[in-house]
Structure 1
Amino acid sequence: MKENDISEEVFVDNNAFIQHKNKKKTIRNIVIILAALFVTAYGVMVFLSYKYFAPGTRINGVDCAFKDKNEVVEKLDEKYKDYKLTLKFKNGESVIYPVNIDYKASFGEAVDSIKKKQNPFLWFIYIFSDDNEAEVHVEFDRDKLKKTLDDIPYLKEKNMIQPEEPKIIFNSGTQKAEIQDGDKGTLIDKDRAYKLCEERLNALDKTLDIYSTSCYIEPKFDENADQIKEAVEKVNSYISTKIKYDYGNTVVEVPAEEIFAMLTIDDIYDVQVSREKVYEYINALSRMYDTYGTDRVFRTHDGRRFITNSETYGFLLDKDAEADALYTDIVNREDVEREPELDNWAYSLDNQGDDIGNSYVEVNLSQQKVYLYKEGQLIFECDCVSGCVAEGHTTPGGLFDIDAVIYDTVLEGEDYSSPVKFWMPFNGGIGFHDATWRSEFGGNIYVNNGSHGCVNLPYDYAQILYENVEWGFPVICYWESELSY
């Protein structure tokens, strides 16, 4: 009875079992299929990532996923397909073309390196990777580059302008020295320019500004340098010195511009007074104002012309002595007014070079007349007696000046001794004096009864002359045969 009871309790549903078994099989098959699909897809991606760049790959901002190396290189190289380098100079531009220097720029090596580093089995890690940076590889012929640069007009030395240092110039308007900035020039440091060109070509830069990259050689100093400002101050202290010469009745001032010309300023702006240039100025002053030994045209009281020269009268500068004196005046920067150092002197001087002026004694030996002029006014006209022609004491014509003004003396010679009150020599032993032993003057007395060469005057006129002349006072003696209109 118990066995039968047990058989009745156990019941197996075959259909349910079969269904359960089939369900498990289906699930297994699905899993196998999915696994197969995954493996296949993975394998495909491995294959594609092996042959091409992995998904998500970016190089220099360019999407390179599933692209082969050549395609990527071509894409990246396209940017520099028409590459050229423009050089900008101060005075123009020039272009370096790739064909001239065998220039080649390619990302091939960098792209190939990135591709080799990728693991195709780990293709999925590149999907979210960062952008890859690829450097371009540049090649060019450096010898051809140098030749190309040497052929550029702006880099030829014959076309370059040397830079000028700032100058200290004289401003005629302000009568002061000032700074003038020099021409910066166009002189280029060619070695630096070559080096920068190579750097720009390697970096694929399209422009090289020669000026902004300090290729131009600059002057050592600029106009704001303290050294130059101090030099200007020193120059102005020299040229502000007032130096005046008293040439007779004329004052000649040494212009500030001429003092400026006597200074030397070296390349480090050291200012000195040049003895050589001072002497050059004195030479010029001598040529301008020396009248000694020159012909003069004197107008007589009646307007006739007397052309005369003189061995004793006229300005003659002592150039060595005056150069030393002027040098000292400038170095000391002291205002002075003085007579120049002279070897010979004249009484007057005007802007036309007339050193006689309008104060003088005029002696017409033919007419035996004496005229005294002061400041253009006739003081007196009187008769005289000049040297005796018969005895060979003819008074010579010419230009002279009073050598002395002596009161109460005795004139002595081999055969005479004559006391006089007023003695005014002008040509060695020849001079004006009173002749109280004479009762008549003028006419032809001089022919047979003249003096030993002196010009004898009536006492009163000799006294007037004595009171109006001084050392250096001009005397012009002439014969009418020497005159012209």
Structure 2
Amino acid sequence: MVTLRKVLKKKKGVKYLGKHDAPNRLKKLGIKKRYIDKHSKASVLEKNAAASDALKKGEEESRTDADTRTLPVSDLTVEEPAAVTAAAKPVATEEHAEETSAAAKPVATEEPAEETSAAETAVTEEPAEETSAAEAAVTKEPAEETSAAEAAVTEEPAEEPAATEQAAEETVAAEPATTEQAAEVSHAPGTAGLRSGRVQKRRTGRILLILVIILAVLGVGGFALNRVVLNADTFQSGSSINGINVSGLTQAKAVEKLTDEWNKKTLTITEKDSKIGTIRNFDLEYNIDQQVKECLHPSFFRKLLRTVRPSKRSYSIAMTAKESSKSFNRQFRRLSFVKNNKYTTKTRNAYVDLNSSDFKIIKEVYGDNLDKSKLKKALLSAIARNKMKFSYTAADYYEKPTVLSDSETLKERQAYAEKYLTKKITVTGAGKKYTIKPAQLDKMISVSKSGEITVDEKAVKTFVKSIADRFTTVGMTRHLKLKGGKVTISGGNYGNTLNITKETTRLSRVLAEGKDATTEAVFSMTGYGSSTSVTDDIGDFYVEVSISKQHVWCVKDGKTVVSADVVTGNVKERNGTPEGVFSLMYKQSPSTLEGRNNDGSSYKTPVKYWMPFYAGCGFHDAKWRDSFGGSIYLRNGSHGCVNMPPAKAAKLYSYVEAGMPVIVHP
């Protein structure tokens, strides 16, 4: 835009003009009055006010392509009162338009052409109709034409008469109030900017609305496509998995069909091109649910591709069995080369010999025995890959050691044994002793890197049970020399009995100390004899019953204190007195014996002395009998008790005590 400031800057030797510079001084520089008036600050303010009024009245709503250029307020002018500004508002009339149209003939300007050129004013040749249109304030012209109208300076021939010059001056003078001012209203600062901003917002809003609509349409279309076509619950037509047609099947039905078809296959096993076995009717369950699901519902673009290209509807998956079935295992075991597998050497891992004093590392052994687990996995893998012809080579399935002698773990194990498994802990009792072996100790304790010992009480209890028989004499076979002669007897409930619970607690405490120890075992019951002798746990205080001799002896301190003939259990009725070594349970006087006869009838028999030693069998007086001893027991014996004469029963009652041994032998 050509402004007064720019014109002045191009004048050589002219300095900045302040607001107090007189208009006549500007004229001396060759600047025309109408140009000065047009760019004065008061003129610009007037134009701005007019534009604001027009905007309020809605006169500018129809102007969509207005020029957005603004006129700067020059610092060369001074502010004028509002009254002057209001009075200076241009009013364009139809008469003035006609006058301007009539005066559109070529006229000469007041200043010479060269002077106008020196001032670099914009010179534009415009047709009369364009000028007339500008005067009527119609803004249908392009921005370039409106800019040309701002200068309102026409280039005319210099030879025209003076009257013409005067008319031209009037025309020129009228232009600022009509054509130029009307044009300036549309170019006032702020007015065009506001209108342009609103237009731009409308355009942006329309574009965003269109984009939203397009995205919504695409989204709904994509959702519908994915929902109806791509996310269907059944396989598309022409779909197959591992060559098996699954068209129109759901995921569950496809899994079921694949399982059924696969289990119908036959696995043929060959060795050196010779058939050595087959497995059929696998009856396996396959871990294929997720794979079938991925085939049915792949990624969006992959399924879109399969929708438009049917050739992409063939899938391959691994038919991995969840586990071997009973049918498969049975057929596997019956394979001749599995069932009749023979080997010369069995494979063995390297290990630390805990039974040796120096804990040697025993080297591993490579054998030729069949690794059945490895072979079974290989067969299942072949089924999963649809390789129904399996080539078997025996050497490929020899069992291999998993622990080697040069293993660092094995060396650490050796060092551990040397440090913690050399403790000597000995258990004694009942004339026996037992020293815990390193291998047994290893199962009962564990030692952390910091040296803290942890005892496994379950393992200790298992160990105690394993050695209980060494210290228990109950039921053992005894070779005894008694009053009735030398006898060999076993059974019964008398003897030393190891207390499992208490011994477990005691031994656990000893192991936790991590020291050598010799301890006495804890017994729940001990014999009357020597606690240090297994063969002499009966001692010299006992009651002896001889079935064959039908006689009883009570020995105390090695001397017989009671000796009597008796009647034992009825052999004919199968009520014989039990044999063995028993503990006298208790004694009671008086007492009533209750039981049932062989015919089912019950009985209640009062006695004065009752001394039971096993279940319902014991010693008691039998005043209803006239004789004792001999062979009475064979046909007319008791229900299993030892019947005694009342006087002898009373004497025996006076000696016996609970827990003492009762030896019943043939």
- The interval holding the TM-score normalised by the smaller chain is 0.3 to 0.5
| Bigger radius of gyration among the two | 2
**TM-score after normalising by structure 1:** 0.40
TM-score calculated relative to the size of structure 2: 0.30
Q: Kindly indicate whether structure 1 or structure 2 has the higher relative contact order, using CA contacts under 8 Å at least 6 residues apart.
A: 1
